[in-house]
Structure 1
Amino acid sequence: MPILYRGLVALVLVLCAGISTASADFVDPLNIPAQPSNKAQSSILIGVTQTPGGRWVAVGRRGHIIYSDDTKSWKQASVPVSVDLVAVQFPTAKHGWAVGHGGIILHSSDSGQTWTKQLDGKQLADLLIQHWKPLAEHANEDNPSSTYALQDAERFKEEGPGRPFLDVHFTDEKAGYAVGAYNLLLRTDDGGTHWQVLADLTDNPSAFHFNAVQVMDGSAYLVGEQGLLLKEDPESHRFTPIPTPYNGTWFGLVAQRESLLLFGLRGSAYLSHNRGQDWTKVDTGTDSTITSGILLPDGRTALASADGELLISQSNESAHFERAIPFNTTPIYGLAPVAGEPAVVAVGADGIKRIDFGLTPDQSKR
Structure 2
Amino acid sequence: MAVGAESKAVAASAAATDGGGVKQLRRGTAHDALYDIAFDGQRGIAVGALGAVLTTSDGGASWESQPAPVHNLALLSVAIKGDKCIAVGQTGIVFTADDCKTWKASPSVTKSRLLAVGVNAQGLAYAVGGFGTILRSTDWGKTWVPQVVDWKGFTEGGAEPHLYDVHVAEDGTPTIVGEFELILRATNGGSQWKALHKGERSLFGLTVLGDGRAFAVGQSGGVLASSDGGATWRSLSSGSGAILTGVYATPTGQLLVSGSNTALLSKDDGVSWTRVSSKFIANGWLQALAAGAGAGGKPRLLGVGSGGSILEIDL
Q: TM-score range by the shorter chain?
A: 0.7 to 0.9
Q: Percent identity?
A: 24
Q: 1:78 to 1:116 in 2, by over 3 A?
A: farther
The total of aligned residue pairs comes to: 280
Distance 1:78 1:64 in 2: 8
Deviations 1:148-168 (A, max 9, x none): xxxxxxxxxxxxx4x210000
Q: Is the 8 A contact 1:325 1:356 kept in 2?
A: no
The 5 A counterparts of 1:290-329 are 290-296=244-250, 298-307=252-261, 309-315=262-268, 317-327=269-279, 328-329=281-282
Structure 1 residue aligned with 2:311, among 343, 354, 362?
354
Counterpart in 2 of 1:252? Answer: 205
1:266 aligns with 2:254: no
Pairing 1:192–2:180 present: no
1:115 pairs with 2:103:
yes
Of 171, 174, 182, the residue aligned with 2:131 is 182
Residue of structure 2 in register with 1:37 after alignment = 5
Q: Structure 1: how far apart are the matches of 2:220 and 2:43?
A: 32
Map Cα deviations across residues 336-365 of structure 1 (whole Å, 9 max, x no partner): 11434474211111223332325xxxxxxx
Runs of 5+ unmatched residues, structure 2? 8-25
SS of 1:207's partner is coil
State the secondary structure of the residue aligned to 1:226.
helix
Deviates more, 1:183-192 or 1:336-345: 336-345
Is 1:214 matched with 2:167? yes
Q: Would you say the 8 A contact 2:54–2:65 is kept in 1?
A: yes
Cα offset, 1:312, TM superposition: 2.3
Do the aligned partners of 2:149 and 2:193 also contact (CA within 8 Å) in 1? Answer: no
The one of 74, 81, 85 equivalent to 2:75 is 85
> By how many angstroms is 1:321 displaced?
2.7
- TM-aligned CA deviation for residue 214 of structure 1: 1.0
1:220-259 → structure 2 map (5 Å cutoff): 220-234=174-188, 237-244=191-198, 246-256=199-209, 257-259=211-213
SS of equivalent to 1:48: strand
**Deviation of residue 290 (structure 1)?**
0.5
* TM-score for the superposition, normalised by structure 2: 0.80
Residue 65 of structure 2: aligned partner? 76
Cα gap change, 1:85 to 1:64, in 2 (>3 Å):
same
- Cα 1:35–1:281 change in 2 (3 A) is closer
Aligned pairs for 1:328-339 within 5 A: 328-329=281-282, 330-339=284-293
Assess if the C-alpha contact under 8 Å between 1:265 and 1:289 holds in 2.
yes
Task: Return the alpha-carbon distance in structure 1 between the equivalents of residues 95 and 174 of structure 2.
Answer: 21
> C-alpha separation between the residues in 2 aligned to 1:331 and 1:242?
29
Match of 2:87 among 98, 102, 109: 98
Highest RCO, 1 vs 2 (Cα 8 Å, sep ≥ 6): 2
AA aligned opposite 2:245: T
Cα deviations by residue, 1:232-281 (Å, 9 ceiling, x for unpaired):
1237731121233x311011222123333121001111212234554332
Q: 1:297 to 1:113 in 2, by over 3 A?
A: farther
Tell me which residue corresponds to 1:47: 36
Structure 1 or 2: larger helix share? 1
Does structure 2 retain, via aligned residues, the 8 Å contact 1:314–1:322?
no
C-alpha distance in 2 between matches for 1:109 and 1:235: 24
The one-letter code matched in structure 1 to 2:62 is S
Q: Secondary structure at the match of 2:106?
A: strand
CA distance in 2, matches of 1:336, 1:281: 23
Determine the structure 1 residue equivalent to 2:233: 279
Please give the secondary structure, in 2, of the residue aligned with 1:318. coil
Instruction: Summarize the Cα distance change of 1:207–1:223 in structure 2 as closer, same or farther, 3 Å threshold.
Output: same
Quick check: 1:305–1:333 contact (8 Å CA) kept in 2? yes
State the Cα distance separating 1:115 from its structure 2 match: 1.6
Find the residue that maps to 2:220 and give its secondary structure.
helix
The structure where strand makes up a greater share of residues is 2
Q: CA deviation at 1:322?
A: 2.1
Distance 1:181 1:289, change over 3 A: same
